[in-house]
Chains A and B, each alone.
Chain A
Amino acid sequence: MSSAVLERTCARMESPAHSQWSKVRFLLAAPWVLDVMKGIAALGHLPRNWDGYGSPQIDADGIAAARRFVANVAFESLPSPHVSPVLGGSVGLHWRCGDRELEFTFHPNGEVEYLRVLGADSDRDENMETGTLRHEPETAGLKLLLWMVGAR
């Protein structure tokens, strides 16, 4: 994709420039955010051993981090992610767009891991990449999401 496409996509993500400094994500531009926020919050109600394999309750810090992440990266043309609990008490967000997939895992220790997959044959190692977002996960996560929707 050309950079021109990226610029158009970015322009849609932000509200028109105005004098305000405080940062918010307007929900009318991406109403799915509301459902995802509720879905992430609901993970906090899962009991200990929710998976039958002794997993702890979903960590409150992981829930807060996943909610902040969504609040910061959501944009109009981004599809809604699948929200899931992850073994060990983490929160998982999974996006799919065509043949591209992205998975973020928000761990109790504050680390955010990602897995990105390109291509129909997801079993092939060369189609997969994993990594950890340690600093400003929202900025790095947004770049990955733009890649997923084909904007970069």
Chain B
Amino acid sequence: MTAARTLPDFENPPAVETVMGVHFAPISKWQPPYFGLFWARIKSDYPRIQMQPPVLPQAPDLAPAQPQSPWEFVRCWFFNQDETRLIQIQNNLFLHNWRKVRPAEKYLHYGDLRPHFEKEWQGFREFLEQEALGVPKVSLCEVTYVNHIDRGSGWETFADLSEVFPNWSPKTSENYLPSPELVAINASYAVHGVEGRLQISAQPAIRQTDAKETIQLTVTVRAKPSSSSNEDIYRCLDEARKWVVLGFTDFTSPKMHRIWRRKI
């Protein structure tokens, strides 16, 4: 992961959070006490926990699936003291999040984060093996970048949105409607090279930590790895990340790229 960067890169990107992880077939023997056993292994790095509602399962055909057992309704968060790193586990999911808590914090690139994911994922696999819970049959790899494009940084009203997202137009047929008060965009693209989808969502939002108005631009790729081996999972994550970065760059305007100080 130390190779020279060839993908678009920004000095001051709007990314506030990166998620990478894997979805797998439900572990049939999984029960809630295993959350505690796993926590004992990682508690020194992730001393805080929180129970959460589940992430909806993703079936191999990339359509939402029905829960297979009651344990799918439990997800556990394990996070570090300064709330920058998070491991999310449910019986069919392992995700690793990094988020920027303070605005001045340095943005961590995928190349900085993937080794952390590899370490934690390998630790989880070893835990499953030790507890005789089996080897996860991985159906999907996921990479998500969450970006906050704050009001005042390239846009002032939703009439300016075409300056942020070139595929949006404020034009109407008969000029009856005023400028939109709010706009949300959802788009889905087939990914080439691996079997998967790229989903982009731009949602007007208020950030809860500082009550600032922002457009949350979420770019997610979920794709099928060739096998459940770590090599194929990491290869699939790399491909997913490539699509996320290129998709983000393509979806946003050159004007915004200048604001985010595009390097390559």
Contacts and interface: CB of A to CB of B under 8 A. Distances in A.
B181 A24 contact: no
Contacts of A22: 16-17, 99, 146, 148, 207
A19 B55 contact: yes
A23 B52 CA distance: 14
Size class of the contact patch on chain A? 20 to 34
B239 interface: no
Contacts of B86: 21
Q: Is the interface of B mostly helix, strand, loop or mixed?
A: strand
A38 to B, nearest CB: 10
> A17, A24, A26, A67 — which one has the most chain B CB atoms within 10 A of its CB?
A24
Interface in A132-152: none
A26 B211 contact: no
Interface of B: 16-17, 19, 21, 52-56, 75, 86, 88, 95, 97, 99, 142, 144, 146, 148, 181-182, 184, 203-211, 213-214, 216, 218
30 contacts: A17-B53, A17-B55, A19-B55, A19-B142, A20-B19, A20-B97, A20-B144, A21-B17, A21-B19, A21-B97, A21-B99, A22-B16, A22-B99, A23-B209, A24-B148, A24-B205, A24-B207, A24-B216, A26-B216, A27-B204, A27-B205, A28-B204, A33-B206, A34-B181, A34-B182, A37-B206, A37-B213, A68-B208, A68-B210, A72-B208
